[in-house]
Structure formats: structure tokens, C-alpha cells
């Protein structure tokens, strides 16, 4: 089976729904981390936080909306460019090998779980993302007091 490659210009309903799932998964990951950078501990609004994929979205499509595959990192530790080589200026995108090492040390069980999942070769059809969307909405509903039915807009064929 051939893995579907991520196409940035794809306008298919499957890819559109996948992107919505990713957005929601990132929002959940940040809320669960209390909008705090999991590397340096700085919080919003002092810093901006991002959802940062552990296993990359482009290579591991089926994991791209898994909340446990997303870290909450401040903008600096997510993607500061390579102006510095100091340990305190490490960033996820600039130092991927060091980043993974740090992740493995600090989240050993999660690291093993994700590593195994990354070896699976799941089919990501429309049904896969529809199920994921429902799962994520339930998760979001569980953590968010301001949850509204609005979020279901655009999902016409649920149940």
C-alpha cells in the first residue's frame, strides 16, 4: 500500500476535513497544556503558543490530528530560526534531532507509543477523518466550557 502524500494545494473534501481536524487537535493540545510551552514553561499571554507536531504532518498523515502527537510550544521553541546555537535557543524545527532527544527523555512512554503508531500504515479516507472529527469534538467538549454546537457546522452526515 502506498502512503498518500500530503498535497498542500489539494482541495479534496478529505484533505479539507483533515485540516480542520488538525486545527482542532492543536487547539485541544494547547488547552490541555494550559497554553504553556512544554519546553520552557512560559505561558500565554507572555508568549504565543503553537501546536507543534512530533511526527511530522507531511510524512505521518494518519497521525496529524492525534492530540498526543502534538506539543504545545512557544513560538521560540517551536520554530525560531538558526541564529543561535545555544541550548536555550533550541527550537523544534531548527534542531529536530535534539528536539526528539529531549522529547524521548521527558516523555518516554509517549515516545514509545508514538513510535509504534508511526510504523502503522493507516488508510486515511474521508470516513477516517469523519470519525476523527467526531472523536476530537467529543474531546474538546470535555475540556471546554464555552463549547458550542457551531463546531459541527460543515459536518452534515454525522450519524
By the criterion CB under 5 A, which residues form the site for Zn ion?
A: 37, 39-40, 74, 77
Nearer to Zn ion by C-beta: 41 or 145? 41
**Residue 100: CB minimum distance to Zn ion, A:** 16
Interior angle at CA 15, CA 158 and CA 34, nearest 5: 75
**Residue 75: CB minimum distance to Zn ion, A:** 8
Nearer to Zn ion by C-beta: 27 or 89? 89
Nearer to Zn ion by C-beta: 60 or 77? 77
**Residue 77: CB minimum distance to Zn ion, A:** 4
Helices (H) and strands (E) in the chain, counts: 5, 2
Nearer to Zn ion by C-beta: 43 or 117? 43
Q: d(Cα 156, Cα 113) in Å, to the nearest integer?
A: 33
Are 76 and 90 in contact by the 8 Å Cβ rule? The answer is: no
Are 75 and 50 in contact by the 8 Å Cβ rule? The answer is: yes
Q: What's phi and psi for 16, nearest 5 deg?
A: -65, -45
**Residue 26: CB minimum distance to Zn ion, A:** 16
Q: d(Cα 1, Cα 79) in Å, to the nearest integer?
A: 33
Amino acid at each position: 500500500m502506498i502512503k498518500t502524500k500530503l498535497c498542500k494545494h489539494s482541495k479534496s473534501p478529505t484533505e479539507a476535513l483533515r485540516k480542520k481536524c488538525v486545527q482542532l487537535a492543536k487547539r485541544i493540545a494547547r488547552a490541555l497544556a494550559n497554553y504553556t510551552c512544554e519546553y520552557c514553561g512560559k505561558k500565554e499571554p507572555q508568549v504565543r503558543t503553537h501546536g507543534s507536531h512530533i511526527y511530522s504532518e507531511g510524512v505521518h498523515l494518519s497521525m496529524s490530528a492525534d492530540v498526543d502527537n502534538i506539543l504545545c510550544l512557544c513560538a521560540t521553541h517551536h520554530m525560531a530560526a538558526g541564529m543561535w546555537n545555544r541550548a536555550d535557543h533550541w527550537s523544534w524545527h531548527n534542531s529536530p534531532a535534539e528536539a526528539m532527544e529531549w522529547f524521548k527523555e521527558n516523555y518516554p512512554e509517549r515516545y514509545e507509543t508514538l513510535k509504534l503508531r508511526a510504523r502503522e500504515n493507516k488508510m486515511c479516507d474521508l470516513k477516517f477523518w469523519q470519525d476523527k472529527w467526531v472523536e476530537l469534538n467529543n474531546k474538546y467538549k470535555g475540556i471546554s466550557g464555552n463549547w458550542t454546537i457551531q463546531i459541527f457546522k460543515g459536518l452534515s452526515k454525522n450519524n
